[in-house]
Amino acid sequence: AGQTDSKPRETSSGRSRFNGDYGIKMTPERLRSLCEVDWPTQGTNWPSQGSYDRSLVASLWANIIKDQGGHPDQIPYIDSWLNVIDNNPPWLKKCRTEQCKIMALRAEIKTGQANKILKKPIYQGPEAEVLAPPPPPPYVPTTVVAPAPNAPPPVGQSASGTRTGGRSRRRTFTLQYIPFSTVDLLNWKTHTPAFAEKPQAMLDLLSSIFAAHEPNWSDCQQLLNTLFTSEERRRINTQAWEYLKENQVPEQEWPNRYPLTDPRWDPNEAGIRATLNTYREILLHGVRRAARKPTDLSRVAAVVQRADESPGDFLERLMEAYRIWTPFDPEAPAHELMVNAAFIGQCAKDIRTKIQKQPGFQGMSRSQIMAIAQKVFEQRGEVEKKEKKQWMKEKAAVIAAAMAHNPGTREVRRSHSETRGRGGGRGQVLGRNQCAVCKQEGHWKDECPQNRG
What is the per-residue pLDDT across 142-159, written as a single tens digit (0 to 9) for each? 444 444 555 444 444 444
pLDDT at 38 over 50: yes
Q: What is the pLDDT of residues 229-268, one digit of tens each?
A: 999 999 999 999 999 999 989 999 999 999 999 999 988 8
Cα–Cα dist 144/141, whole Å: 9
Question: Helices then strands (H, E): number in the chain?
Answer: 20, 0
**113 contacts: CB under 8 Å, gap ≥ 6:** none
CATH architecture classification, 8-97: Orthogonal Bundle (1.10)
Alpha helix ranges (H) inside 71-168: 75-87, 90-97, 101-110, 114-117
| Mean pLDDT taken over the chain | 77
Look at the pTM and tell me if it is higher than 0.85: no
Cα–Cα dist 40/47, whole Å: 6
Distances (CA, A) of 40 to 8, 37, 43, 51, 152: 14, 6, 7, 11, 40
Question: Residue type for 215, please?
Answer: P
Show me where the domains of the chain are located: 8-97, 182-290, 297-381, 390-451
Alpha helix ranges (H) inside 89-169: 90-97, 101-110, 114-117
Cα–Cα dist 133/395, whole Å: 82
**Phi/psi of residue 66, nearest 5 degrees:** -65, 155
pLDDT of residue 70: 80
One CATH from 2.40.50, 1.20.1300, 1.20.58, 1.10.1200 for 297-381? 1.10.1200
Q: What is the pLDDT of residues 55-105, one digit of tens each?
A: 888 888 888 888 777 888 888 888 888 888 888 777 776 666 444 444 444
Q: What angle do CA 264, 266, 268 make, to 5 degrees?
A: 175
**Are the folds of 8-97 and 182-290 the same?**
no
Q: What is the pLDDT of residues 398-418, one digit of tens each?
A: 887 777 766 555 554 555 555
List 441's β-bridge partners, or say none: 434
Q: What's the first-to-final CA gap in the chain, in angstroms?
A: 102
3-state secondary structure of 7: coil
pLDDT of residue 403: 73
Comparing 384 with 160, which gets the higher pLDDT? Answer: 384
What is the C-alpha radius of gyration for the chain, rounded to an integer number of angstroms?
Answer: 36
pLDDT band at 210; cut points 50, 70, 90: very high
- For the domain spanning 182-290, the CATH number is 1.10.375.10
